[in-house]
Amino acid sequence: MFEKILTKARMLSPWVLHFDCGSCNGCDIEVLACLTPVYDLERFGIINTGNPMHADIFLVTGTVNHRNKQVLRNLYDQIPEPKVVVALGACGLTGGVFREAYNVVGGVDKVIPVDVYVPGCPAKPEAIIDGVVLGLEKFRQKASAMHS
């Protein structure tokens, strides 16, 4: 019973952790633009938090490189279960335009499991909001699987 209420409450107010994992800033400023008055994610109860331990949804932008893959892994491990990872932009999906560069490992899914892929270079705020909402559905499934 308590778990059901908890899952419902978390669904209504998912907190987001954003990590720039070697992107060109294009997607990052679009993530921030989602929080501002024109798109206003906060009306859905979504708050951008700086602390991984408070987060439910992990937004990752950009390619993974050999230096920041450990940071990405650490952040992922610190987020409590259930958690959803949303990879943003062409770089976060596959490495995008940088995939042949020598210091690029590839997409985010090379290091951590990804639930939602949002394409675009950079991904538009509408697409990011859509991705987060799709992620919420995954979040509900994971939460109910965890409690059953």
Partner 1 sequence: MTKTIIPFGPQHPVLPEPVHLQLTLQDEVITEAIPAFGYVHRGLEKLAEIRDFQQMIYVVERICGICSMIHAMCYCQGLEEMMGIDVPPRARFLRVIWSELHRIHSHLLWMGLFADSFGFESLFMQCWKIREKILDIDEATTGNRVVISVNVIGGVRKDLNAEQIHWILSELKDVEKETLRLETTIMTDYTVKKRTVGKGVLTRQQAYELGLVGPVLRASGIAQDSRMLGYAAFNEIDFAPVVETDGDCYARCKVRFREIFQSIDLIRQAIAKMPDGELAVKVKGRPEGEVVSRVEQPRGEVFYYIKANGKKNLERVRVRTPTFANVPALLAMLPGMWLSDVPVIVLSIDPCISCTER
- List own/partner pairs for 36-45 with CB under 8 A and 24 or more apart: 38/125, 39/125, 39/126, 39/129, 41/16, 41/129, 41/132, 45/12, 45/13, 45/14
Among 1, 2, 5, 37, binds partner 1 (CB under 8 A): 37
Instruction: State yes or no: residue 131 binds partner 1 (CB under 8 A).
Output: no
For partner 1, which residue of 57, 75, 85, 112 counts as binding (CB under 8 A)? 75
Nearer to partner 1, 11 or 44 (CB): 44
What is the spatial distance between Cα 120 and Cα 96, in angstroms, rounded to a whole number?
10
CB of residue 100 to partner 1, shortest distance in Å: 5
Smallest distance, Å, CB 120 to partner 1? 9
